[in-house]
Amino acid sequence: MNDCLFCKIAKGEIPSDIVYSDELVVAFNDISPKAPVHILIVPRIHLSGIDAYTEADAKLLSRIFYVSNELAKKNGLEKSGYRIITNNGKDAGQTVLHLHFHLLGGQNLGELVD
């Protein structure tokens, strides 16, 4: 998608603080962090949200969660805990229409749901 912010970051057209990159995903520090560790993990291909995900994308989703776990370890979050969030659609708070996951940690995040 030509005008997608996260597609442009994944292609290297917009500078970002990249913390991980491979053939399927790119991860970078959020420019407005909500926690001491706030990393966005995005697929290189454009999917507007989780509702655009299909069975053919199963390898991609598996990779996103693997990378999230590795980044949590790299940032020392594996013992204290961390949160992985994706928002889907306007009412959920999705502001960039490119599937992405927030890795948050480094402080007590409180209960969101139990």
User: From the centroid of its chain, how far is CA 29?
Assistant: 9
* Known catalytic residue at 46: no
Length of the chain: 114
| Element at 109 (helix H, strand E) | none
User: From the centroid of its chain, how far is CA 64?
Assistant: 8
Question: Catalytic: which of 38, 46, 98, 100?
Answer: 100
Q: Identify the CA nearest to 87 among candidates 78, 74, 77, 96.
A: 96
Considering the segment(s) 5-100 as one domain, its CATH architecture is 2-Layer Sandwich (3.30)
Q: Which pLDDT tens digits describe the chain residue by residue (114 residues)?
A: 678 999 999 999 999 999 999 999 999 999 999 999 999 999 999 999 999 989 998 999 999 999 999 999 999 999 999 999 999 999 999 999 999 999 999 998 987 654
CB distance 106 to 37 below 8 Å: yes
Q: Where are the domains of the chain?
A: 5-100
